[in-house]
Amino acid sequence: VLHTTRPLHTTQQCLAPLPPLPEKGGEVRHGLIPEEFFQFLYPKTGVTGPYMLGTGLLLYLLSKEIYVINHETVAAACILSVIIYGVKKYGSDVAAFADKLNEEKVAKALAVKNEAIKNLETAIEQEKKEQWRVEGRSYLFDAKRNNIAMLLETNYRERLLTVYNEVKKRLDYQVALQNLKRQKEQDHMIQWVEKNVVQSITPQQQKDSIAKCILDLRALSKSAQAAA
């Protein structure tokens, strides 16, 4: 409930971030009367003015019975004394504890803020690294282009070799075929010639040739004997 009554952004120009809370509250004397009252009476009555006013007011209230003294007065006096004793004795401890709680809250918020800042800074560094990587993109594409060119070249040469081998095989076949044909023709012709020659040798010719050979052999043996 307390927070909703605080007016935020009441002026046109809204200050963001909000201004920090004031360190100390308004000055209050004796815990009850704001300092402004004393300052208000100071020019006319000096330092003791408000105290005289308070005493006079108190005496007037008591004497005219506007404030009656009964059992409640005693109770109020006891309660007030206990409260004042408690505040005087434990006030600073409670204040330190509350300050510590506040400090923890602020530290947590600060930690969150620092965490966010650190995350954003690492993100920025990574972004810069990515930008640096982008510069190397052209080299990547050049390497890829070289690879592809080499692949194409290899493939082309392989196919060239295949073509050459195939053509050579066909030509070798033709050459072997021709050689074989010529060989067969040669053999056949030799056989035919021999057959005809053997057929053409008549028995008369055979006797004559044998007699001639015997005569030649005798002559040769004679010449050999003469030489030896």
Q: Which residues form the interface with another protein (CB under 8 A)? A: 2, 5-7, 20-26, 28, 31-32, 34, 65-68, 70-72, 76, 87, 91, 95, 99, 102
Which of residues 70 and 174 has its CB atom nearest to another protein in the complex? 70
Q: Tokens 């006030």 map to which residue?
A: 91
Output the smallest distance, CB 18 to another protein, in A: 12
Which is nearer to another protein, 20 or 203 (by Cβ)? 20
Closest CB 127 distance from another protein, rounded Å: 40
The whole-angstrom separation of Cα 124 and Cα 118 is: 10
Residue 33 is given by DSSP the state E
Over its C-alpha atoms, the chain yields an Rg (Å, rounded) of 68
As a whole number of angstroms, the distance between CA 144 and CA 164 comes to: 30
Work out how close the CB of 11 gets to another protein at its nearest, in angstroms, rounded to a whole number: 14
Judged by beta carbon, residue 27 or residue 121, the one nearer another protein is: 27
State the nearest-atom distance from the C-beta of 23 to another protein, in Å.
Answer: 5
Decide if 88 contacts 79 (C-beta within 8 A).
no
* Backbone torsions φ then ψ of 29, nearest 5 degrees: -100, 135
Q: Which is nearer to another protein, 56 or 209 (CB)?
A: 56
Phi, psi angle pair for 123, to nearest 5°:
-60, -40
By beta-carbon proximity to another protein, the closer residue of 68 and 226 is 68
Give ∠ CA 95-100-106 in degrees, rounded to 5.
125
Q: How far is the CB of 43 from another protein (least distance, A)?
A: 16
